Amino acid sequence: MPKKILTARTLQSVVLLCCLSIAPLCFSKSLYTLRDEVQKIWQKKCIDCHNPNKKEQNFPISFQEKDLVESGRIHPGDAILSPLFQSVDSGDMPPKHPLSNPEIQLIEEYILSLDHGKAQIRTPQTYYQDVLPLFHKRCFSCHNRSAKGYKSLPQFDTYELAVQWSKAIKDSVQKRRMPPWNNFEGSECRENKETRFLNSKERLSILDWVDQGTKKGDPKAIPKRSPIKKVNIKTDIIAKMERPYTPPLTKTGDNYQCFILKIDHIDKTKPINPYLLIKGYEFTSTNPNLIHHALVWTFSSRRSDDANKIFQEFDNATPEDGWDCINDIFVVRKGIKRELVFGWVKGLTPKVLPKGTAIKIDNRNTVMVAQIHFNNTLIKGSNHTEVRMELAGRQENLNGLVWHSVGYHEEGSSMPARTSRVQKSEEGPLRVLLSEIASKKPIGQERKWAKVYGTLGHMHYYGKQVELSYKLGGKYKCLSCIDRWDVDWQESTYFKTPAILNLDDPFRVRCVFDTTRWHPAMGHVPTSPVIIGPLAKDEMCLMFMLLSYHQSKPH
């Protein structure tokens, strides 16, 4: 077969085709083009309400940048902090004519373009004086050479490496993909503690540094900076699988397997107390990409060894380690108390609990069981998991914490495929919503109040937003919201000040999904309805709450 030779004309055609197929990488639309296209959206879908005769919510009638900026509806160059973008991205606006994903992306690109070209007139930024302190504060806890579980992340802890990665850094920071902090940061929700979120000034400093030519600065005049915040768990106890486990190949790639965890006390000189007070914990896995999520439960019985015997029977009934337990973990017999104590999802880092708190585990007649959801669609192999725990010691005044969840639990209900916005929500008294996973039993009346220290949202690949809110004065007020869901960066957050909640107050958990998205495990966009269910190809709508229960109102 004769070789085909690329002439100048055919080469030009190939380049043109490449540019058309990946247009955003080859060229970007001008501000003037974007303004015209956004104006068309405004005229078509917004003007019915936002017109001189019907001014709603003080929204500016003029679509000039000056008016939008002065009214606070747009933060130039920062779509995520712009109320205009938040309202259309969440689907709240326009209520009569929902925007398509391409229209939302146009508005985002328009807001980003408003800051284009202005970097040169601001204060010059240098690596050592301006950018390195920000990397140190917001990035190096993950992007460092010893970060556990993040070995594939690029390292840019030298000036030369930062310059090498500068274009990628700019793109990630400009679109707020990095640092990976997806919780909503605004006065509408409860303030989070120790976030990785870049404020507008920090973000512009990094963007300006790249746009101004990645200037080096003076390496001998680095501003004083605080040490990198790394969470180090002092290991007092290890709960671990006895041996590695290789999940079988299944049609969907899913395997829910339960394991009795063997508990090793590292310091043999310390007395083993009847109650373990856990102040910090860390999941370690030899193959974390094989795990979709993991939950660790304790089962304790009033009579000696009852709980252990039940789960030992489950284990002995199968030839392999552990047992298939997509449902068996929820089988609780009379006289056996079950408690969810830990969980792990992609992106979750080691945790030290808030000061003055601990997870309390009854060490008498108790068995610890890990339910691990494996999915080997994308990666194969074996896995060995451990949970390393740090003890708080004997302190009677510690608040005992538990992880309980609220969510949309209508398993088997479906969402239409190829739909850019699907909403699922659940409303009711908090004590009813706070039923444990797969259990409809509400929190008992002996508990009146909850003190909530933090939250952890959980959805799958089609998730877009999840919000937990409570009714105050007839309107729902946000407690916690993840407005830019990313399944690979799920992180629990602590509130700056715990929330004191009455268990009888009405609450709502609301999730928004986008089933037009490509699913990596399936390799395509869904063509059939998406089910609310336990498999990786399904969806979930959960918000876990780290809390303590009280009979009287806590301080």
Predicted confidence at residue 445, as pLDDT, reads 81
Two structure tokens written together for 3: 């070789």
CATH number assigned to the domain with residue range 231-400, chosen from the 4 options 2.60.120.310, 3.90.650.10, 2.40.50.140, 1.10.1740.10: 2.60.120.310
Q: 261 phi and psi, to 5 degrees?
A: -90, 130
pLDDT, averaged in runs of 10, over the chain (555 residues): 36 28 36 75 79 62 72 76 78 78 78 60 84 87 63 78 93 85 74 81 89 92 70 88 92 92 79 81 91 91 76 88 78 75 87 90 86 90 94 73 85 88 92 69 82 94 92 88 86 92 94 90 88 92 93 91
Residue 532 per-residue DSSP state:
B
Two structure tokens written together for 287: 């193959």
Predicted confidence at residue 5, as pLDDT, reads 36
- Rg of the chain over CA atoms, in angstroms? 26
Predicted confidence at residue 10, as pLDDT, reads 33
Q: Taking a C-beta distance cutoff of 8 angstroms, is the pair 60, 67 a contact? A: yes
Predicted confidence at residue 475, as pLDDT, reads 87
Two structure tokens written together for 413: 């209900």
DSSP, collapsed to helix, strand or coil, labels residue 70 as helix
Distance CA(370)–CA(368), nearest Å, equals 7
Output b/e per residue, 496-509; b: 16+ Cβ within 10 A: eebbebebeebbbb
Two structure tokens written together for 242: 């006895």
Q: Please tell me if the domain spanning 231-400 has the same topology as the one spanning 401-555.
A: yes
Predicted confidence at residue 137, as pLDDT, reads 83
Report pTM. 0.77
Q: Taking a C-beta distance cutoff of 8 angstroms, is the pair 389, 284 a contact? A: no
Distance CA(159)–CA(519), nearest Å, equals 37
Predicted confidence at residue 440, as pLDDT, reads 56
What pairing do the DSSP bridges indicate for beta strands 366-375 and 237-240? Answer: unpaired
Report CA 356 to chain centroid distance, whole Å. 25
Query: Hunting for tokens 């689907």 — which residue is that?
Result: 91
**Domain 401-555 belongs to what topology?**
Jelly Rolls (2.60.120)
Predicted confidence at residue 17, as pLDDT, reads 27
Distance CA(431)–CA(340), nearest Å, equals 17
Q: Could you read off the pLDDT of 393-442 as tens digits, one per residue?
A: 766 567 788 888 888 878 779 999 999 889 999 999 999 888 755 455 66
Predicted confidence at residue 441, as pLDDT, reads 67
Distance CA(516)–CA(522), nearest Å, equals 13
Distance CA(99)–CA(411), nearest Å, equals 29
Helix (H) or strand (E) holding 205, with range, is helix 200-211
What is the residue extent of each domain of the chain? 32-113, 119-211, 231-400, 401-555
* DSSP assignments along 380-417, one per residue: -S-B-EEEEEEE--S-TTPEEPEEEEEE---TT-EE-S
Alpha-carbon dihedral angle through residues 356, 361, 363, 366, given to the nearest 10 degrees: 180
Residue 253 per-residue DSSP state:
S
Predicted confidence at residue 555, as pLDDT, reads 83
Predicted confidence at residue 77, as pLDDT, reads 73
